[in-house]
Structure formats: structure tokens, C-alpha cells
Amino acid sequence: MTPTLETRLYEAVARVRRHWRGTRLMDGLEPGVEGTQALLDVARIYRANRLEIGRMRPLLGRAVAGLFFDPSLRTHTSMEVATGRCGAHFVYLQGGEGTWKMEFDDGVVMNGNTAEHVKEAAPVLSSYADILAVRAFPRAHNRDETVIRAFAKYAGAPLINLESALAHPCQGLADMLTMADLGGGNFQGRKIALTWAPHPKPLPQAVPLSVVRAAILGGADLHVACPEGFDLDAEEMERVHGFAADTGAKLTLTRDQASATEGALAVYAKGWAANDREQHAELAARYGDWTVGDAAMKSATAFLHCLPVRRNVIVTDSVLDGPKSRVIPQAANREPVQAAVMLSWLL
Ligand code: CP
């Protein structure tokens, strides 16, 4: 007898829990290799049956609070839609605008413009919501990740990092699902290119580091290309490289975009800040020819970007509007992976 959708969903969630009992998704490495694959299986079940799951409402009566200190189109919408489809209630909170301006430092005399300390805010929100989800990159280059780490410390509820200075784990999970789709189920041993591309703003490394984590967890032959002065965070690269022994992933760092992209299953473009941020504008202008165009995509299968993307700066119109662009299904994969995390914690 074919198992029902409910049975398949419960069994898939049970597989996640066998590998991952944690209640913090901070950088995306927490579920480990098997736990991540199990999460992707839950996401695939959700993706293939989302209307039926919407009717099942498996998380009826639950609540998720999403606190956004920064703007969002995809993350906010996909979280709210996934929560609603699962039957739970989503509360959108705009950090510092619709809520009280929050204090994160210890021992502060709060007679300035901060009105509420995270030490109260995080447990109060945890008393209402079954999951907290926080986007906080206002201190974008703050390696200490003050905001999300404070929530991790003081929240009693499970916590999803919706993007901080060094990590965007839900984007990483969606990218894994997208790359696995491109590879016909997985991308183990397949060449994935992550290339720096020009951007006028000195953006944090959250997305490129999450792409690296996703590619290593999935066992890719990962090629990371960037000009001199744009190296990814050495400590984070070292940490994720520890997983390569388990997955068979290979990592090549290069200054040559052409060799990185040649024959790649996916070319993932992203802009990030120069290591010396004072020099970002000058260096980004100097490397204007790193914009991903038809030449870089000639022998590659697909183009990926997390969005939003600056047309004809990061990537040309012809690539983005062309048949190799997979950015829309990539963005669509945000909903099922986030649903998978919430179901794995709350079902
Ligand atoms: N990729 C992504 O996180 O998009 P938003 O910033 O619009 O949420």
C-alpha cells in the first residue's frame, strides 16, 4: 500500500530528527551532512504537495514571529507563505521601526534612544511564538553578529537566522535544493562555480559563505573565483572545509573567472565587499569586467543568484533573461526549505 502524504511527511521529519536535534539554524552547518539531506527530502515532499499540505494544516495552532531589521522581498514572503500553508500564524515585526528600538550591549545605561533590551525582547517573543526568525545585518560586517547571537542566547524558542553578517542558511538550503535539481537529484562531484561580481555597495559575505557551505555539504567540486582583495573569510572557509572529508567535496580558489566557470553545472554570481572596505568602490570599478556575461556562461549549464540582482552590473541582461538563468526557481525553493525546517521542529 502506498503510504499517505501524512505518513511520508512524518517519516521524513523523523529522519531529520535522527540526525539533528538542535533548535538553532544559525549558519546552516548545524544539521550536518545527513540532517541536511533529510531536510531537503522534507522540502521535496512539501514542494510536490504544497496545496494538499495547505489543506492538512499540519502546524495548526502554532505561531512564528519574524523580526526583520532589514528589508526583504523573498525571505519575508516565503516565510509568511510557508508558515500559513502549514497552518501556523506568522507575525511580521519590523525591528527598530514597528517595534521598540532594541539594545544589545550588556551593562548599558539605557537613557539614550534604545527602549527595550534583547534580554527581555527575546524571551517575551518566545513566550508567544513557537519559532523566532530574525534577519539582522544592520551591522553587516560585524563578525560577532551581535544581533542574531543575542537572540540565540536569550530566546527560549527555536531560532532561524534569516540572514546575518556571515550566514544566510535558508538561502543556502534553497541553493542546495536548486543545485540538486540541476544535477538530477544531487550535485556530488559536479562542478559548481561561485564567482565574485561587481557591486557598488560593500555587501557582507553571508550569501557567498552560505553558497560555499551548501556546495561543500552537497559534495560539489567547488571553484570560487574572486579578484585579489576580495577573499572570503578565512576562518569560515576553514570551518566549512572540515565537512569536505565526509562529502568528498573539493575546493579550488582562483583569480580566474573563466577557468572557474568553464563547464560548470551552475555559475553562482554574487558581489561582496573588498577586504579593505575603504577601497571597495575603487576595486569594484577596477574589476568591472567580472560582470557575468555570455562568455562566462558559454559552457556552463545554469546561472544562479540569490536576488535581488543588479542587472548589467552583476550579470548581463542576456544571461539573466536567457535560457540558462534559473534564478526564479531558485527563489521559489526558499518556501519549501523553510517549511522543512519549521515542520522538522514543530510537527
Ligand atoms: N535572497 C533574499 O534573501 O532575498 P530578500 O533579501 O529579498 O529576502
**pLDDT at res. 137:** 76
Task: From 72, 79, 178, 314, give the residue whose CB has the most ligand 1 atoms within 8 Å, as the site to mutate.
Answer: 72
Indicate the pairing of strand 302-304 with strand 102-103.
unpaired
H/E segment holding residue 122: helix 118-128
How far is ligand 1, taken at its centre, from the CA of residue 76, in Å? 8
Q: 5-167+334-346 sits in which CATH class? A: alpha beta
How far is ligand 1, taken at its centre, from the CA of residue 307, in Å? 6
Matching residue, cell 527530502: 41
Q: Is the CB of 162 under 6 A from ligand 1?
A: no
Task: From 67, 69, 74, give the residue whose CB has the most ligand 1 atoms within 8 Å, as the site to mutate.
Answer: 74
Task: From 67, 137, 161, 163, give the residue whose CB has the most ligand 1 atoms within 8 Å, as the site to mutate.
Answer: 163
Q: Is 289 exposed, middle or buried (0-12, 13-18, 19+ CB in 10 A)?
A: exposed
Q: pLDDT digit of tens for each residue in the chain (347 aa)?
A: 899 999 999 999 999 999 999 999 999 999 999 999 999 999 999 999 999 999 999 999 999 999 999 999 999 999 999 999 999 999 999 998 789 999 999 999 999 999 999 999 999 999 999 999 999 975 556 788 999 999 999 999 999 999 999 999 999 999 999 999 999 999 999 999 999 999 999 999 999 999 999 999 999 999 999 999 999 999 999 999 999 999 999 999 999 999 999 999 999 999 999 999 999 999 999 999 999 999 999 999 999 999 999 999 999 999 999 999 999 999 999 999 999 999 999 99
**pLDDT at res. 139:** 58
Judge contact between 192 and 179, C-beta under 8 A: yes
Which three three-digit cell numbers place residue 7? 505518513
**CATH of the domain spanning 171-331, picked from 3.40.50.1370, 3.40.50.300, 3.40.190.10, 1.20.120.80:** 3.40.50.1370
Q: Is the CB of 307 under 6 A from ligand 1?
A: yes
Q: Is the CB of 306 under 6 A from ligand 1?
A: yes
Q: Which residues contact 54 (CB under 8 A, 6 or more apart)?
A: 85, 87
Q: Rounded to two decimals, what is the model's pTM?
A: 0.97
Give span(s): CATH 3.40.50.1370, the chain: 5-167+334-346, 171-331
How far is ligand 1, taken at its centre, from the CA of residue 78, in Å? 10
User: Rounded distance, CA 115 to CA 319, Å?
Assistant: 47
